[in-house]
Structure 1
Amino acid sequence: MESESVTTPFGRRPMSLALLLKQRRGEAIAAGTTRNKWKLFRSVCEARAGLGVTDRALTVLDALLSFYPEDELSSEKGLVVFPSNAQLSLRARGMAAATLRRHLAVLVDAGLISRKDSPNGKRYVRRGRAGVIDEAYGFSLAPLLARASEIEAMAAGLAADRQMLRAMKERLTICRRDIAKLIAAAVEEAIPGEWERISSLFHALLERIPKAATPENLRPLLKELEMLRLAIINTLESREKIQNASTNESQFERHIQSSNPESLSESEPGLETAQEARLDDQPRSGLKDDDQGRRGDGGQGLRAVRTDAGRLKSFQLGTVLKACPDIADYGPGGAIGSWRDLMTAAVTVRTMLRVGPPAYEEACAVMGPENAATVMACILQRGGCITSAGGYLRDLTRRAERGEFAPGPMLTALLRAKDPPIAEVS
């Protein structure tokens, strides 16, 4: 502790309870506390906004620290510096005396230094016979050392806030650029959508950007902009999927019809080779009656088989919707009336289940868009049983690529869960 006495101000400066408390708090330094004065001064500079001091006041504090002979501020040594006004003004970059007094008062009010006035108000030191300082009058740096931990924590917090704010501003800039260019691309390519309304919403959000940005007032605005960007990307992505499906529609073989569309094969059929696969519009003269009987549906079952193009045959849309009714909620207008509607709903469900675009595109390439949409409908229906929809879809795609998977058993299981099979009568 620097001193047990109370130092009242010299001259006409009044004493106050706040000044007394600051003095006592400045003297409460734990034994053995030390800090490098220049590192501590840097922390004060970083925490300037929290401490309520100006840059000119920091210039004065820098000058006061230069009068302390050691690099380490220590509670075991005297913490009082006693420069004259002339010397202090020189080290404060030639600051005028009146300005110097004003900023010294700012440092005192901020609780970074305290005055230790002599009986006559002068700053001086009294030394013993051995040259050791017995008593010094001037400015005490004890409050600065006493608050070292507080100042360092404040500086670290403000530095983290500045870094966070910088990162948020970067994200905001990128998000603004993305939205502006995506809207421009959609309008230029005449993609259907409410682009005027989206553009108006975008400009309204930009007008809300505050001039004095802080993490607190920037965070909700950034979240709204990122949600708008995601909505635009989903709209453009859905449009791209629909266009791709429309382009490839002529390449798909027409669906295999079934005289009993509600029944599927009991177990997953082996995927036939291209030479063995038969389309339903080809003559069946090459099959014997007992072969057709073993198929059980005249060769027109709902089993998914490979076409000559190497794709899986798809099922009737009504069968898919009966097995997976939940997918209808995500169709255009909350209903599905065509395969195109189902594929559009599948893209929406893919985004909701966090299935990456590469995984779904690979499934479309391997199984075909209709079967990929069917599988997404099944995954949605069984959502409670599947931990990672993306990983599950990639696994099914790999199995389908090896010829080990067809959507039939998935639909069969879902239909059985709704309508348990009735035992056949021989």
Structure 2
Amino acid sequence: TLGMLASQAIAKSVPPDASVDKWKLYRWLCEARPKLGISDRALSVLNALMSFYPKTDLAGSDGLVVFPSNAQLSLRTHGMAETTLRRHLAALVESGLLTRRDSPNGKRYVRRDPQGAIGEAFGFSLAPLLARAEEIEQLAAEVVAERLLLQRLRERVTLVRRDIAKLIGTALEDGLAGDWMRYEADFRVLVLALPRVPTPEILTPALAALEALRAEIINHLERQVILKKSAGNAGQTERHKQNSKPDSSSDFEPRFESKQGGDAEREQERVAVQHGNGDEKTSGRYSQWPVDVPTTAKGVHPQPANVSDALKPYPLGLVLQACPEIVAFGPGGAISSWRDLMTAAVVVRSMLAVSASAYENACAILGPENAATVIACILERAGHINSAGGYLRDLTRRAERGEFSLGPMLMALTRANEKPVRQVG
């Protein structure tokens, strides 16, 4: 082909004083392989051919022709089949790294003079490698530079992703006002758009978008911190008050069933409980539990006095004891803080097909910690609930009216997960 003719012309232009270390050249070839368009198996064949050249340096004054048989090449390529050898040798010739010096009968051999020196050899010439050594070195340097750039971009993307996740988790954990669900959704869209095998051309704009999102979140958090500091006047109270009297009012909480009953059925079971029918007769959809009614709402965005987001979150250990299923969805398969629980709740919310608006409304009414706890409870009994999103909206509406308490739900799940105690004696 014309390409082979060009390679032969380049090989003839090698100056006699040119030389290069053949193994250094081979390392450059390995680095520049993506730009040269050759496979790793072809490089293995080239390595075997170079090993038949007796000297360490490829010199222009030598013939640079190697003439091993296919059997010897197969041995030095760890038993590569002869048909595979021929295919890779053809690829090396087409890429301009080798040239053929064919004998009259097509065999590879050498003629020596009476003193044993090589007179004429037929086989493969390594002269194109020596002629293109400078080009191969430059290609290898470009590949290394691109790899380092890709590594730095991936590191920066990882750091920015970590910063955004921590900032959103901190805001949710501290209950700061803001459209955090939108930030979380934008963050997920950017992360899911990253390819499995990234390139600098793809990572550069993705990194710019992530950094812009991080800057927006930081600016929003800084404004929230400034507002929170300026809100410490005598007319406001940031303290949480809760009625913990033992004679607090009682209410009925929906248990984890697939369908909710109407008001008439609810009233019938309320009357049944008040007449002392016992747990056996009230084991349907509702059960009687004490409810802590808050006296004030927390945060700078007050809710009605009976809204349950004013309640203090229950201990994280109690939540995990009642809802162990959500632990597997935490960062690294573990949950050690409220931030981890809220991160897992976002994942579980998507898995249960709960809309972002329903979960955001639950966070506004119940509080981020309690909303994540409710998601964990729903996951625990997901097999008994037809519509997790509808169930969450129903609980949120009841909480807004002051008719829902999270404690009985946790207690019921805790008792259900307790192992029977072995009797002694």
TM range (shorter): 0.5 to 0.7
Which residue, 3, 9, 13 being the options, matches 1:28?
A: 13
How do 1:125-140 residues align onto structure 2 when only pairs under 5 Å count?
Answer: 125-140=110-125
How do 1:102-251 residues align onto structure 2 when only pairs under 5 Å count?
Answer: 102-247=87-232
The 4+ residue runs of structure 1 with deviation greater than 6 A are none
| Displacement after TM superposition at 1:101 (Å) | 0.5
SS of 1:191's equivalent in the other structure is coil
AA matched with 2:53: Y
SS of 2:162's equivalent in the other structure is helix
How do 1:92-103 residues align onto structure 2 when only pairs under 5 Å count?
Answer: 92-103=77-88
* Bigger radius of gyration among the two: 1
Question: Does structure 1 conserve the Cα–Cα contact (< 8 Å) formed by 2:4 and 2:96?
Answer: no
Q: State the distance in 2 between where 1:249 and 1:34 align.
A: 86
Instruction: List per-residue Cα deviations over 1:157-193 (Å, max 9, x = no partner).
Output: 1011111111111111121121112112112212112
| Displacement after TM superposition at 1:23 (Å) | 1.4
Question: Does structure 1 conserve the Cα–Cα contact (< 8 Å) formed by 2:20 and 2:57?
Answer: yes
Counterpart of 1:88 in structure 2 is: 73
| Displacement after TM superposition at 1:248 (Å) | 8.0
Q: State the distance in 1 between where 2:95 and 2:196 align.
A: 28
Relative to the length of structure 1, the TM-score reads 0.53
Q: State the distance in 1 between where 2:174 and 2:186 align.
A: 21
| Displacement after TM superposition at 1:156 (Å) | 0.9
| Displacement after TM superposition at 1:244 (Å) | 2.7
Relative to the length of structure 2, the TM-score reads 0.53
| Displacement after TM superposition at 1:103 (Å) | 0.7
| Displacement after TM superposition at 1:131 (Å) | 2.6
Instruction: Say whether 1:47 aligns with 2:19.
Output: no
Q: State the distance in 2 between where 1:114 and 1:20 align.
A: 9
Instruction: List per-residue Cα deviations over 1:56-100 (Å, max 9, x = no partner).
Output: 111100100100000000111111001111111111111111111
| Displacement after TM superposition at 1:34 (Å) | 1.0
Question: Does structure 1 conserve the Cα–Cα contact (< 8 Å) formed by 2:26 and 2:47?
Answer: yes
How do 1:259-408 residues align onto structure 2 when only pairs under 5 Å count?
Answer: none
| Displacement after TM superposition at 1:25 (Å) | 1.9
% same residue: 53
Question: Does structure 1 conserve the Cα–Cα contact (< 8 Å) formed by 2:52 and 2:68?
Answer: yes
SS of 2:197's equivalent in the other structure is coil
Instruction: List per-residue Cα deviations over 1:111-145 (Å, max 9, x = no partner).
Output: 11111101111111112233322211100001111
| Displacement after TM superposition at 1:245 (Å) | 3.6
AA matched with 2:33: R
SS of 2:120's equivalent in the other structure is strand
Aligned length in residues: 235
Structure 1 portions without partners, runs of 5+:
1-15, 251-426
Question: Does structure 1 conserve the Cα–Cα contact (< 8 Å) formed by 2:3 and 2:94?
Answer: no
Q: State the distance in 2 between where 1:113 and 1:208 align.
A: 42
Structure 2 portions without partners, runs of 5+:
236-425
SS of 2:75's equivalent in the other structure is helix
Q: State the distance in 2 between where 1:118 and 1:249 align.
A: 102
Which residue, 31, 46, 49 being the options, matches 1:64?
A: 49
Aligned residues: CA RMSD: 1.7
Question: Does structure 1 conserve the Cα–Cα contact (< 8 Å) formed by 2:20 and 2:58?
Answer: yes
| Displacement after TM superposition at 1:208 (Å) | 1.3
AA matched with 1:113: L
| Displacement after TM superposition at 1:234 (Å) | 1.7
Counterpart of 2:321 in structure 1 is: none
